Amino acid sequence: MNATQANDADERILRTSPLRKLLGRPELGSVVGAVAVFVFFAFFADSFLRAASLSTVLYAASTIGIMAVPVALLMIGGEFDLSAGVMVTSSALVSSMFSYQMTANVWVGVGVSLLVTLAIGAFNGFMLTRTKLPSFIITLGTFLMLTGLNLGFTKLIDGTVSTKSIADMEGFPSARDVFASTITVGGVGFKVTILWWLALVAVASWILLRTRAGNWIFAVGGNQDAARAVGVPVTRTKIGLYMGVGFGAWISGQHLLFSYDVVQSGEGVGNELIYIIAAVIGGCLITGGYGSAVGSAVGAFIFGMTSKGIVFAEWNPDWFKFFLGAMLLLATLLNAWVRKRAEATA
């Protein structure tokens, strides 16, 4: 053997094999899971591998993924948001009803809706940091209040549980282009939400990995007291994360509104858990401090493949929840193992 070879490099560097590096990635569990689910449905569902099916799967994934990204960031920051599901509906309702009642250009409603969702997010964050109660309780409260407000206001204003159609209003076509259009690539239509989703994943990844804010997000989730002691603005970081969820709810809500032009006020309940599941499958630790935006996207993709794959395989869709639950358990076990490795003291 050549003895001079090891002169420059530290001989201990050999211990970190690329495989070990890979094992340390938060997305690992979800990528393995995604490949398994893909192969499974490619084998059992004949139509699964067609381009049109891919488009359907990606669309399903994107509607979850848009929310899973900010929810994942929030979880890395150590908190939950149970109000995320109904906030999407609130966003759509505010936008629709404001435009309709004020007979304004729908873009005005869209803008007001953004302000409202950001305000709800800020409220969640403010209550959390002020009261120091668990986020589970705070956002459970917001969840119930929003559910009630959605139904109550819609009935009060429109008399029924759904909003009036705003399809013939000024600005509707352009807003539909932005939030709910279909882009045709090679004869296959892809929903614009896929672009929103990918853009959010890219921006969130950049924030997490390359900005000061990202460092703060990991820190407040990993060890809040240490973060505060070294001068990280914990309150500002957490409020920002909740406002991020509000922003995601705004995009999702506008998509909901402009794809159907009416909104059912009771929708969205239960979706908050699906966002959390996507984030957890994607490697986010439920206790915070660890995870990635890309992981949440893979989690959402698994969700999309499973929900549509079962349809393509012509099975009873009831099985879907079973698959999702099994994926969640497996992913969490794998993540727990990874964390143990990472935290083990020498």
Q: Across 177-217, where does the E strand assignment appear?
A: 182-185, 188-191
Among 80, 290, 303, 312, binds another protein (CB under 8 A): 290
228 binds another protein (CB under 8 A): yes
Partner residues linked to 191 by β-bridges: 182
Contact 248, 70 (CB under 8 A): yes
- Angstrom distance (rounded) from CA 184 to CA 196: 16
Among 167, 210, 329, 337, binds another protein (CB under 8 A): 210
Which lies closer to another protein via its Cβ, residue 49 or residue 333? 333
Partner residues linked to 183 by β-bridges: 190
Among 8, 18, 103, 212, binds another protein (CB under 8 A): 212
Q: Applying CB under 8 A, what is the total number of residues that bind another protein?
A: 32
Which lies closer to another protein via its Cβ, residue 8 or residue 10? 10
229 binds another protein (CB under 8 A): yes
227 binds another protein (CB under 8 A): yes
Least gap, CB of 300 to another protein (angstroms)? 23
Which of 230, 209, 202 lies closest to 76 in space, CA to CA? 209
Contact 31, 300 (CB under 8 A): no
Q: By CB under 8 A, which span of 13-21, 110-118, 122-130, 297-305 interacts with another protein?
A: 13-21
Contact 190, 183 (CB under 8 A): yes
343 binds another protein (CB under 8 A): yes
35 binds another protein (CB under 8 A): no
Least gap, CB of 77 to another protein (angstroms)? 12
The three-point CA angle 245-249-253 to 5° equals: 175
| Alpha carbon separation from 112 to 98, 167, 184 (Å, rounded) | 8, 18, 31
Q: Write out the residues near another protein by the rule CB under 8 A.
A: 10, 12-13, 15-16, 206, 210-212, 214-215, 218-219, 222-223, 225-232, 285, 289-290, 339, 342-346
